[in-house]
A and B are shown apart, each in its own frame.
Chain A
């Protein structure tokens, strides 16, 4: 696993899509998701040398803590918990190692957000991806498909968490910004492994 390549891809995708994320968030949230994520990932980019000098698990943990300290909105603790959930990932992980850490990471997000599937959040993308990884025959294509389908599923869901939940049924018909950023990050990682 080449963390530098993945980190660069993640930073680039958030940078490239920050405006789009903020626009989505202005429809049903508080119009800061792209701005906040960009601030967090720029901070990761700025700390890159220090991060990459660490063992893999510690590097991911530091990336998470960087998001926690710089994002300034709910996505900081949520994505921070996700990345910090990989703290036990060994050097040169197998698919099974990645799957195990991904499961732990998704559990951290659920706990942090006091949320579960079906509430129109990033979990609609992350949970199906963790299921594919755990299936034993995960391909990059299958991971990407699960992320895409998960994102699309948020359109018809009614939000139960965050600012969007205040909108009740009016949140239906919009993609969830957090699910979109999760999808974009997973897509950027899939691209590193040769898809698209």
Chain B
């Protein structure tokens, strides 16, 4: 993992989808991108977990920034909430992408792996489909 590359966090209502998307990123892009994923509500059912998202964000956070891929509405809102719970200096360079989870994660990671900036990584995700 290259901590000088933009981090990628995958958040799905389903842990299986999040893990599967992360597997695809690892297979297609490799190990050079800081990558984390989470899925499921705090009780283990379908949904998202603010605490788990926060842990994921912290695990890949670096000064170059982090992009977040989310699936449905609640995931986006819970990701926003998790970002607000981070230390103040970490909040500003995290972007939630308006992108499909799987395609967006792979394209974001590809751009990150070649040293793209936070904005370039975000655009790559959002241009994916």
Contact = CB atoms under 8 A, between A and B. Distances in A.
Interface of A: 30, 32, 35-36, 39, 68-78, 80, 112-113, 161-163
Contacts of B43: 39, 72
Given A69-B42, A70-B42, A72-B42, A32 B47 contact: yes
Nearest to B51: A69
14 contacts: A36-B41, A36-B47, A39-B41, A70-B42, A71-B41, A72-B42, A72-B47, A72-B48, A73-B78, A74-B73, A75-B74, A77-B50, A112-B80, A113-B77
Contacts of A77: 50, 77-78, 80-81
A15 to B, nearest CB: 16
Contacts of A112: 77, 80
Nearest to A43: B42
A80 B47 contact: no
Listed residue (A30, A70, A72, A74) with the most chain B CB atoms within 10 angstroms of its CB: A72
- Name the interface size band of chain B: 10 to 19
Interface of B: 40-43, 45-51, 72-74, 77-78, 80-81
Contacts of B45: 32, 35, 72
B77 A74 contact: yes
A69 B73 CA distance: 17
How would you classify the secondary structure of chain B's contact residues: helix, strand, loop or mixed?
A: loop
Nearest to B81: A77
B15 to A, nearest CB: 12
Nearest to B76: A74
A68 B50 contact: yes
Nearest to A70: B42
Contacts of B46: 32
Given A68-B81, A112-B77, A161-B73, 18 more contacts: A32-B46, A35-B45, A68-B50, A69-B42, A69-B51, A70-B42, A72-B41, A73-B47, A73-B74, A74-B78, A75-B74, A76-B77, A77-B50, A77-B78, A78-B77, A113-B77, A163-B72, A163-B73
A76 B73 contact: no
A74 B80 CA distance: 11
Contacts of A163: 72-73
Of all A-B residue pairs in the complex, the 6 with the closest CB atoms, nearest first, are: A72-B41, A72-B47, A74-B74, A73-B74, A77-B77, A77-B81
Contacts of B74: 72-76
A111 B11 CA distance: 22
A76 B46 CA distance: 14
Contacts of B72: 30, 163
B73 to A, nearest CB: 5
Contact of B81 (A36, A39, A80, A162): A80
A32 B40 CA distance: 13
